Structure 1
Amino acid sequence: MEKDILEHYLNLNRRKFLSKLSLGLGSVALGSLLIPDLFSGNDSGSDFIPGMPNFAPKAKRVIYLFQNGAPSQLESFDYKPKLREMMGQELPPSVRGNQILTGMTAKQASFPLVGSYYDFKQYGQARAWISDLFPYTAKIADDLCIIKTMYTEAINHDPALTFFQTGAQQGNRPSMGSWISYGLGSENKNLPAFTVLLSKGKGNGQGVYSKLWSNGFLDSIYQGIQFSTSEDPVLYLKDPDGLSREERRKMLDKVASLNDLSYKQFGDPEINAKVQQYEMAYRMQTEVPDIMDVSKESDATIKMYGPDCVVPGTYAANCLLARKLSENGVRFVQLYHQGWDQHGNLPNEMAGQAKDVDQASAALVTDLKQRGLLDETLVIWGGEFGRTNYSQGKLDAKNYGRDHHPRCFSIWMAGGGIKPGMVYGETDDFGYNIVKNGVHVNDFHATVLNQLGIDHEKLTFKSQGRRYRLTDVGGKVVRGILS
């Protein structure tokens, strides 16, 4: 009987693990204590044991502040005075090379260079150039690692955004949060390992879709849970009117027993995943209301994040909520802020977008640091690609736009074992090409996983006869930014 149970629940990797513990009921019990998710995974065909990092992690969790629509690096963190000097002059063909352009500028008669409308100053020990649009971010320069040399092959929003979130430009792949949830499990059994928060600025927005936090071919228990701004932050979490807590417990027990019969008959792992989701929702009922309550936050904290942090659904409110979720053991908090697609009217629109996010982003890093959580929490800020150094359409020094630019763009990272107070990589004087230390999207993913104690080449899952991983067939850890 014991053998049947073990064969039913254990995959090859778990059998290897337990055999090393001299398999028996005592070893099974010990294994379940050491690895809480030992009996809950799929037969992935992987050497990776879910819940067990490959090596000692520097970070326990991630907060990803994704700026959807692609903020311009030339108005934020990549200072290029040459563009002002050459304002209105043609982009040299030798700089552009044979790059494919979007349909929005490919047929332009000319490509007039345009410098930033905003000034830059240097901050911190690295003397990092930061635009006047980001005064609060400038104050935490010594906590940041600014990477100026991100690059991607994708030149349009949907594939570029999907690439950053899933490691592939096409859909139907597990998101980064799902991979991490699968690889490490949850720190708090009363909360999901992967949560999603949405906000929207005043600028031109690009849509975000549920495929970005999908579990793909992983069990559905690993998909991201979206928190909404409605009265019910997690839909369908509350018990129906007239149903007591005790009655809900009895109902779930009965459903679980019926699902167990179905699993024994059909062997579909999604049946067990559904039971786990029911149980998670039941446990979340006690945790979520307290996390959503900001009334217990100090006046100093509210002031630090700004007045919008008490307005549900704003970027500031979501940054504060991200801290609370992370603080309570959520592995991966994904925040999307829409409105960064400035093809025109960039000086005005980007000023509004920056004002939306600058104070709260800096406050999140400061708040985590003050609570002793920054060292174990990796915070990431950035979009899906950058912006061109030439004006889209007619040049106007006070009212210009920039097209998509995948060859180089800037993001910043903080905490989680990333070297603070540094600028990584160099672009040319035109801000068009990388001249030193390029970082591909696959490299970015490999580095994030590395900080969580995961070898990106070992975190794989077999689906339809092929082994998949977040970094596909590429990726190398960017050792130069690690502390």
Structure 2
Amino acid sequence: MISRRHFLQTSACGFGSLALSALAHGAANPLAVRETHHAAKAKRVIFLFMAGGVSHVDSFDYKPRLLKDDGKMMDFNDARSVAKTGSGASQRVMKPLWDFKQHGQCGQWASSLFPNMAEMVDDLCFVQGMHTEGVAHGPATLFLHTGSTNFIRPSMGSWVSYGLGTENENLPAFVSISPSLSNGGPRNYGTAFLPPVFQGTALGRAGAPAAEANIKNIRNTMLTGEQQRKQFDLLRSLNHEQLQRSAVGGQDAELEAVLNSYELAWRLQGNAPETLDITGESEDTLKLYGINEKPTDNFGRQCLMARRLAEKGVRYIQVNYTDNSNNPAWDQHSNLPKHGEHAAAVDKPIAGLVKDLKQRGLLEDTLVWWGGEFGRTPYAERNGTGRDHNPLGFTQWLAGAGVKPGFSFGGTDEFGHFAVENKVHMHDMHATILHLLGLNHEKLTYRYAGRNFRLTDVHGHVVKEILA
């Protein structure tokens, strides 16, 4: 007589194949590739998140009026200024700390803060009339990532995973490299009410070396490959049976997400180590990203990992330049010269990433998005040596699939304070990025608590003027 244990052991591979087939094809696999709403220009996004708010008036938004009126006390009646100084809101105008000049054939103004990015403005599309919600880091960062300042909402990467599925079933669809635990923390790569399977996979954490940004315990040194396969096939068949019994028709989203994560974890063992291992890259490539150099080594490694993940079909890759404190990297209220240190760490790696994607042909279907949660004020905060938060007008840039290179759209007033020309709200930026991925932001919905939700809520429009 054949025992149940012997039967399962000898049949596991067959059951496992059936289970894997069910999970890898059709509706049973929530990460299966989905049809887009319209033809896509981009297959994936790399988001370079500059946490804390880069000063646009010191980088890409040249305002001669700041030089002319430097040191003058003037009224800037934004809500944050009024709250801090009273109804007069008189503040000292502060000139840029870095010299501006025009660059490239397009003549885009850029300062010496980012010399490497300035050299490649002909590849970038500047959106200079940005404005957003949330004047503090927490709400503004959540709004950037989820479209909401306070409600629990899915992150943008999760919406992209939900809408498109994954190009590579052996890797996550959404990865966040070195995310911070503050200002939203895991909510910035979480799923909220979307099925848990669409959550981002965090590699490393803010403040830790990028060389350690990997998936822990991914290798099993105690069992041979054949032993691991037999063990996995047996567990997979049992898990699949449990899923079928757990609810009517096997509709148990949380359990299914757990089982999908087990499936993915198994496939990651054979794929992630190679993908995240940069030791095989050429010396020229390492030099392009500033790896093994100070101060660019850490962020250079993050950017190179992003390129390798993009090559392997990861849909949404977020590269974070931040920390775990309540004062994120670019948040210089009293020490704006600190911007120079941070720029020196990220400028060469970011330019290297765009150049590397371009020379490999990946920029044709990869959208690179750069920016922070807001900009900074044209005045010195409390008459000091830094700038306050400014969600009312700032700059972000895009590069690659589907956007006009060497192009600038929108603008702020003569001080760089308010977006006044061709204003682009963060909801509009979200709608435009989804559009480039082939997703209609009004149709990408998920029904929860009796109504349909979407990333852009009931707002947003596609900024067609920047589309190539």
Tell me the TM-score normalized by structure 2: 0.86
Query: Aligned residue for 1:3?
Result: none
Q: Shift in Å at residue 321 of structure 1?
A: 0.7
Query: Aligned residue for 1:238?
Result: 219
Query: Aligned residue for 1:340?
Result: 330
AA of the residue aligned to 1:385: F
AA of the residue aligned to 1:477: V
Q: Shift in Å at residue 110 of structure 1?
A: 3.2
* Structure 1 counterpart of 2:346, from 350, 354, 357: 357
Query: Aligned residue for 1:274?
Result: 258
* Structure 2 counterpart of 1:139, from 110, 114, 119: 119
Query: Aligned residue for 1:442?
Result: 427
Q: Shift in Å at residue 263 of structure 1?
A: 2.6
For 2:228 and 2:42, how far apart are their aligned partners in 1? 37
Pick closer, same or farther for the CA change 1:98–1:402 going to 2, 3 Å: closer
Q: Shift in Å at residue 359 of structure 1?
A: 0.6
1:415 aligned onto 2:405: no
* Structure 1 counterpart of 2:303, from 319, 341, 363: 319
For 1:406 and 1:232, how far apart are their aligned partners in 2? 31
Following superposition of structure 1 onto structure 2, how do residues 31-430 of structure 1 map, counting pairs within 5 Å? 36-41=25-30, 51-92=34-75, 96-97=76-77, 99-101=79-81, 110-198=90-178, 209-228=185-204, 229=210, 233-239=214-220, 241-267=221-247, 268-308=252-292, 314-338=298-322, 339-347=329-337, 349-395=338-384, 400-430=385-415
Secondary structure of the 1:393 match is helix
Q: CA RMSD in A?
A: 2.5
Is the Cα contact below 8 Å between 1:259 and 1:271 reproduced in 2? no
Query: Would you say how many aligned residue pairs link Structure 1 and Structure 2?
Result: 432
Pick closer, same or farther for the CA change 1:154–1:411 going to 2, 3 Å: same
CA deviations on 1:315-362 (whole Å, 9 max, x unpaired) are 111001100100111111011101111101102x00001111111111
Tell me the TM-score normalized by structure 1: 0.84
AA of the residue aligned to 2:62: Y
Secondary structure of the 1:148 match is strand
Query: Aligned residue for 1:23?
Result: none
Query: Aligned residue for 1:26?
Result: none
For 1:129 and 1:41, how far apart are their aligned partners in 2? 45
Q: Shift in Å at residue 269 of structure 1?
A: 1.9
Which ranges of structure 1 fall in alignment gaps of 5 or more residues? Answer: 1-31, 43-48
Secondary structure of the 2:379 match is coil
Which ranges of structure 2 fall in alignment gaps of 5 or more residues? Answer: 1-20, 205-209, 323-328
Q: Shift in Å at residue 199 of structure 1?
A: 7.3
Q: Shift in Å at residue 171 of structure 1?
A: 4.8
Is the Cα contact below 8 Å between 1:38 and 1:51 reproduced in 2? no
Is the Cα contact below 8 Å between 1:443 and 1:478 reproduced in 2? yes
Query: Aligned residue for 1:22?
Result: none
AA of the residue aligned to 1:363: G
Pick closer, same or farther for the CA change 1:101–1:110 going to 2, 3 Å: closer
For 1:471 and 1:300, how far apart are their aligned partners in 2? 41
For 2:294 and 2:92, how far apart are their aligned partners in 1? 43
Is the Cα contact below 8 Å between 1:311 and 1:317 reproduced in 2? no
* 205-214 or 375-384: bigger deviation: 205-214
* 246-255 or 449-458: bigger deviation: 246-255
CA deviations on 1:287-308 (whole Å, 9 max, x unpaired) are 1111222222122111211134
**Matched residues, percent identical?**
43
